[in-house]
Chains A and B, each alone.
Chain A
Amino acid sequence: MSTIQFKLNGAAVSVDVDPDQTLLNVLRGQFGITSPHFGCGAGECGACHVMVGDRAMASCDMPMWSVADKAIVTLEGLGTAEQPHPLQRAFITEQAMQCGYCVSGILISAAALLARNPSPTEAEVKTALDRNLCRCGSHNRMVRAVLRAASEMATS
């Protein structure tokens, strides 16, 4: 066991944990953060994406030792119903999902994209989401939602 400190959705946190434990298990098990979802455990589907610094990364195969002193943002930290992130608003407007299990990871990937590229092309959005799988076939709605959020952010 070791004590690992990091930032979680803007707050400094500390946890005593096996350093080889995955970030996903710790977020869900010890912090009650439920938005990152387990999908494959191998970083292949994106359902567990969280922001690490300014990048979207899989949390299911990320050991806790690598999280020390990093800033982690989950969907819980992106926005709320009262103060939604433009992406959250756009996903509602575009009804950009069917089951929604993959949506948390996709919103995180999209947020990381817009943070580094505020006005992406459609192809750039698709490339940025290629590490996220959607089985229901809501891809085109999600791409439209990301482009809508980008244009909304550009004009605000």
Chain B
Amino acid sequence: MSAPPPAPKLPVSLVANLKLSSWVRFIGEGRVAILPGKVEIGQGIVTALAQIAADELDVEITRIEMIRASTATSPNEGVTSGSLSIQQSGRALRHACAEVRQRFLAAASERLGVDAALLGVEDGTISGPGNVRTSYWELSDAVSLDHDATAGTVAKSAAARSVAGHSVQRVDVPDKVFARPRFIQDLALPGLVHGRVLRPDISRARLTTLDEAAARAVSGLLAIVRDGGFAGVVADSEAAAEAALKALRKGATWSAGETLPDENDLTDFLRSQPVETTIIDTRTAAAANATRTLRRQYTRPYIAHASIAPSCAIAQWDGDRVRVWTHSQGVYLLRADLAIVLKLPPDRIVVEHMESAGCYGHNAADDVALDTVLLAKAAGGRPVRVQWSRHDEMAHAPFGAAMAIEIEADLDADNEIVGWRHAIWSNGHTARPGRAAQPALLAASEITNPYPRMISTNPPPANGGGADRNAVPLYDLPAWTITSHRLLTMPVRTSSLRTLGAQGNVFAIESQLDEVAALRGEDPIAFRLRHLRDERAKDVIRAVARRAGWKPARQTGTGYGVGFARYKNMGAYCAAIAEIEGADDIRVKRLTLAVDVGEAINPDGVINQIEGGAIQATSWVLKERVRFDRAHITSTSWTDYPILTFSEVPAVDVEIIQRPDIEPVGAGEAAHGPVTAAIANAVFDCLGVRIRDLPITRDRIIAAMELAS
């Protein structure tokens, strides 16, 4: 007897928000409101979700109004992160819209007296044989969407979709080229006033005394707010707020702060702290004949999110209720932390999303929201807008965690890998708000009765892990042990940066494999293909090799390298080939990538994400490193924290392997690890030295070449 087929399951976001009306509403004048819980951070998600909805409902995409996430109106989808929005919001909307369409067809069938199976929908108009017709909007009073979604609804087959799978133009782009306000920074509210917050130059110094006299004399000042170590100003213009802050800073004295690590010996720091050790995965094999062990250590520095916009928020109090406009990636999670700090029930707080510049993870978006709420208390009910300075964004926002990674590869007499140990020392890679009993927001650690600074943790491996993300090889090695040592101290504040630990781990694994392949004299692509069982993995590697003409003839001053990963070992597949040129100073000339995200809802959107990820990764690899002395973060300007410029950007060529019948996954974090490794491996191909410490700078190349000679 065969087992009964498993009961159909609802997508996770739909399980958490069952009401169809929380996702879809028909509004007047032939419009459809779609309410995702995920937010636009420049990745084009709002367009991709609109495409999915348009397809399942059979309406033109222009009829769709995408509603910004708000705790007042939106389904709770947690945080927009981890390349999960297409998986979570996309699947939920696809299912919800398909079910909504079915309900309307049933109602139309009843009203028109025609079998539902004979009815069709075209741009919201429902029609059938005998020229009968009605529409979603005509029926919307008769069809309640205040019903829970039910399992079993079948969405359209891939072949029946006409919008998803096509490169539709993004819905937000026209506003941005025609200067129509869309960003939180540009929101005009009646009576808007401006706030600024006083933060120390010395890392983790606490405000001890504050002479407010000079700030009080600034014309336009409305209030000075002080709550323990938290202080700020509210004024009637940005200029007045900045002048008042400058005056306030002169009247401030600070405690000594906390000592920072030695930035020139990060490995020693990372490997000498108290840690919590977790065995992430082991695979055992029969004893093998290892004849030698290749032991290598890789590091990556702290990396800044370095958003082009310093973080910004607006808040307005009305009695004991507060409304907050934010570019946080999680409106409900931010609200949970605000409720803890304000000691208010969450239903007194409305948090709504507005776009800002790309954040690439957990930057100061949430921190500035609390700052603003605290300052707005003194504004007599007027809305207050707070924008951080460039300095504070680069000094006080969380950074991506530094990592030390040691890989030991046991090799047999033929230099085949018979054992593999991968150990990571790193701070945790997330300290997002809304997930703990204590708040994660900066000002919460500054106010009277401060909360302790939250020490970063790692998401569990089932969610892709944190420091250990992509540390388990996708390659079929006979035995391995993967270990993560999470630091229990955190002198440099860290939280989620795009890919969490995956960039560091993929860099390490792919560098080590490249080295083993070179020891064997084996082509690095052939070596990888020989160790992979997953056909989709092999397909992206073969595709990128074909597209880049692997391997071009060797020329002096030019090098080629390859890198591969499946993001989180369960997301997008991506393979990259880097072409570099240079001697002691290298230039990345071209990146060729192949990617498989399953069904690509918006192929140009996927290409845009992969291109962007590839270029950002190039910037990380060649230039980026948070700088500090023992007391201050010193990389607080674009001069001190340079990123890749237009003239330095490589050509990027992307091929998508379309798999319309496979559930879609996100593309935003797929490229970073493979590109990092591809560049490092190309440096070896070009110069014969392996750089195992990021960033790959002129100084490091010269040092490596001196060591080699």
- Chain A residues with CB under 8 Å of chain B are 18, 21-22, 25, 28-29, 32, 34-35, 37-42, 44-45, 47, 74-76, 79-81, 84, 88, 91-92, 95, 97-104, 107, 123, 125-127, 129-130, 132-143
Asked if residues A141 and B238 are in contact (CB atoms below 8 Å), the reply is no
- 12 sampled A-B residue pairs with Cβ under 8 A: A25-B237, A25-B238, A28-B238, A34-B181, A35-B179, A40-B638, A41-B390, A95-B169, A107-B177, A134-B646, A138-B612, A139-B615
- Chain B residues with CB under 8 Å of chain A are 41-44, 169-170, 172-174, 176-179, 181-183, 185-186, 188, 237-239, 306-310, 355-358, 360, 387, 389-390, 604, 608-609, 611-616, 619, 637-639, 643-647, 649, 651-652
Q: Chain A residues near B173: list those with CB within 8 A.
A: 91-92, 95, 97, 100
Asked if residues B176 and A137 are in contact (CB atoms below 8 Å), the reply is no
Q: Which of A37, A100, A126, A141 has the most CB of B within 10 A?
A: A100
Q: 7 nearest interchain CB pairs?
A: A99-B42, A137-B615, A137-B612, A101-B357, A100-B176, A34-B186, A35-B179
Asked if residues B238 and A37 are in contact (CB atoms below 8 Å), the reply is no
Q: A41-B390, A135-B358, A139-B646 are in contact. Are A103 and B177 (CB under 8 A)?
A: yes
In the assembly, what is the distance between CA of A34 and CA of B178, in Å? 11
Give the shortest distance, in Å, between A72 (CB) and chain B (any CB). Answer: 14
Asked if residues B647 and A136 are in contact (CB atoms below 8 Å), the reply is no
Asked if residues B647 and A127 are in contact (CB atoms below 8 Å), the reply is yes
In the assembly, what is the distance between CA of A54 and CA of B173, in Å? 26
Asked if residues B178 and A80 are in contact (CB atoms below 8 Å), the reply is yes
Partner of A21, one of B44, B185, B239, B308: B239
Asked if residues B42 and A45 are in contact (CB atoms below 8 Å), the reply is no
Asked if residues A132 and B188 are in contact (CB atoms below 8 Å), the reply is no
Asked if residues B43 and A133 are in contact (CB atoms below 8 Å), the reply is no
Asked if residues A135 and B360 are in contact (CB atoms below 8 Å), the reply is yes
Q: Chain A residues near B644: list those with CB within 8 A.
A: 139
Asked if residues B611 and A140 are in contact (CB atoms below 8 Å), the reply is yes
In the assembly, what is the distance between CA of A81 and CA of B307, in Å? 28
Partner of A138, one of B174, B185, B611, B643: B611
Asked if residues A135 and B188 are in contact (CB atoms below 8 Å), the reply is no
List 4 other contacts, CB 8 Å, given A75-B179, A133-B643, A139-B649. Answer: A42-B638, A92-B169, A104-B176, A143-B646
Asked if residues A44 and B44 are in contact (CB atoms below 8 Å), the reply is no
Q: A98-B44, A99-B358, A107-B177 are in contact. Are A135 and B390 (CB under 8 A)?
A: no
Q: Chain A residues near B183: list those with CB within 8 A.
A: 34, 37, 101
Asked if residues B643 and A135 are in contact (CB atoms below 8 Å), the reply is yes
Give the shortest distance, in Å, between B427 (CB) and chain A (any CB). Answer: 23
In the assembly, what is the distance between CA of A154 and CA of B166, in Å? 31
Q: Chain B residues near A80: list those with CB within 8 A.
A: 178
In the assembly, what is the distance between CA of A109 and CA of B284, in Å? 59
Partner of A99, one of B355, B604, B615, B639: B355
Partner of A42, one of B308, B614, B637, B645: B637
Q: Chain A residues near B652: list those with CB within 8 A.
A: 140
Q: Chain A residues near B649: list those with CB within 8 A.
A: 126, 137, 139-140
Partner of A74, one of B179, B358, B638: B179
Give the shortest distance, in Å, between A24 (CB) and chain B (any CB). Answer: 9
Give the shortest distance, in Å, between B287 (CB) and chain A (any CB). Answer: 47
Q: A88-B177, A139-B646 are in contact. Are A101 and B638 (CB under 8 A)?
A: no
Q: Chain B residues near A103: list those with CB within 8 A.
A: 176-177
Q: A136-B616, A139-B649 are in contact. Are A38 and B310 (CB under 8 A)?
A: yes
Q: A44-B639, A84-B178, A135-B616 are in contact. Are A98 and B43 (CB under 8 A)?
A: yes
Asked if residues A95 and B643 are in contact (CB atoms below 8 Å), the reply is no
With both beta carbons as reference points, the residue of chain B lying nearest to A32 in the complex is identified as B188
Asked if residues A81 and B178 are in contact (CB atoms below 8 Å), the reply is yes
Contacts between chains A and B (CB distance < 8 A), count: 160
Give the shortest distance, in Å, between A67 (CB) and chain B (any CB). Answer: 15
Q: Chain B residues near A141: list those with CB within 8 A.
A: 608, 611
With both beta carbons as reference points, the residue of chain A lying nearest to B168 in the complex is identified as A95
Asked if residues A135 and B237 are in contact (CB atoms below 8 Å), the reply is no
In the assembly, what is the distance between CA of A22 and CA of B185, in Å? 17
In the assembly, what is the distance between CA of A22 and CA of B356, in Å? 22
Q: Chain A residues near B647: list those with CB within 8 A.
A: 123, 126-127, 130
Give the shortest distance, in Å, between A148 (CB) and chain B (any CB). Answer: 13
Give the shortest distance, in Å, between A85 (CB) and chain B (any CB). Answer: 9
Asked if residues B179 and A101 are in contact (CB atoms below 8 Å), the reply is no
Q: Chain A residues near B169: list those with CB within 8 A.
A: 92, 95
Q: Chain B residues near A140: list those with CB within 8 A.
A: 611, 615, 649, 651-652
In the assembly, what is the distance between CA of A38 and CA of B183, in Å? 12
Give the shortest distance, in Å, between B157 (CB) and chain A (any CB). Answer: 28
Asked if residues A102 and B611 are in contact (CB atoms below 8 Å), the reply is no
Q: Chain B residues near A92: list those with CB within 8 A.
A: 169, 173-174, 177
Asked if residues A133 and B645 are in contact (CB atoms below 8 Å), the reply is yes
In the assembly, what is the distance between CA of A14 and CA of B172, in Å? 34
Give the shortest distance, in Å, between B42 (CB) and chain A (any CB). Answer: 3
Give the shortest distance, in Å, between B265 (CB) and chain A (any CB). Answer: 29
Q: A18-B239, A95-B608 are in contact. Are A137 and B177 (CB under 8 A)?
A: no
Q: A34-B186, A40-B638, A134-B308 are in contact. Are A99 and B357 (CB under 8 A)?
A: yes
Asked if residues A136 and B358 are in contact (CB atoms below 8 Å), the reply is yes
In the assembly, what is the distance between CA of A143 and CA of B647, in Å? 10
Q: Chain A residues near B390: list those with CB within 8 A.
A: 39-42
Q: A32-B188, A44-B639, A135-B616 are in contact. Are A130 and B176 (CB under 8 A)?
A: no
Asked if residues B238 and A81 are in contact (CB atoms below 8 Å), the reply is no
With both beta carbons as reference points, the residue of chain B lying nearest to A41 in the complex is identified as B390
Q: A40-B638, A136-B42 are in contact. Are A91 and B177 (CB under 8 A)?
A: yes
In the assembly, what is the distance between CA of A151 and CA of B308, in Å? 30
In the assembly, what is the distance between CA of A54 and CA of B355, in Å? 31
In the assembly, what is the distance between CA of A57 and CA of B355, in Å? 25
In the assembly, what is the distance between CA of A126 and CA of B237, in Å? 36
Asked if residues B310 and A99 are in contact (CB atoms below 8 Å), the reply is no
Q: Which of B357, B639, B643 has the most CB of A within 10 A?
A: B357
Give the shortest distance, in Å, between A144 (CB) and chain B (any CB). Answer: 11
With both beta carbons as reference points, the residue of chain B lying nearest to A21 in the complex is identified as B239
In the assembly, what is the distance between CA of A142 and CA of B188, in Å? 29
Q: Chain A residues near B43: list those with CB within 8 A.
A: 98
Q: Which of B43, B308, B360, B644 has the most CB of A within 10 A?
A: B308
Q: Chain B residues near A88: list those with CB within 8 A.
A: 177-178
In the assembly, what is the distance between CA of A46 and CA of B609, in Å? 23
With both beta carbons as reference points, the residue of chain A lying nearest to B649 in the complex is identified as A139
In the assembly, what is the distance between CA of A137 and CA of B613, in Å? 7
Give the shortest distance, in Å, between A15 (CB) and chain B (any CB). Answer: 13
Q: A98-B608, A100-B42, A134-B308 are in contact. Are A41 and B239 (CB under 8 A)?
A: no
Partner of B357, one of A34, A75, A102, A143: A102
Partner of A132, one of B355, B358, B637, B646: B646
Q: Chain B residues near A127: list those with CB within 8 A.
A: 646-647
Q: Which of B387, B389, B612 has the most CB of A within 10 A?
A: B612
In the assembly, what is the distance between CA of A39 and CA of B643, in Å? 14
Q: Chain A residues near B42: list those with CB within 8 A.
A: 97-101, 136
In the assembly, what is the distance between CA of A100 and CA of B178, in Å? 11
Asked if residues B646 and A29 are in contact (CB atoms below 8 Å), the reply is no
Q: A41-B389, A141-B608 are in contact. Are A135 and B181 (CB under 8 A)?
A: no
Give the shortest distance, in Å, between A138 (CB) and chain B (any CB). Answer: 6
Q: Chain A residues near B616: list those with CB within 8 A.
A: 135-137
Q: Chain B residues near A143: list those with CB within 8 A.
A: 646
Partner of A38, one of B181, B309, B609: B309
Q: Chain A residues near B185: list those with CB within 8 A.
A: 34, 37-38
Q: Chain A residues near B174: list those with CB within 8 A.
A: 81, 92
Give the shortest distance, in Å, between B307 (CB) and chain A (any CB). Answer: 6
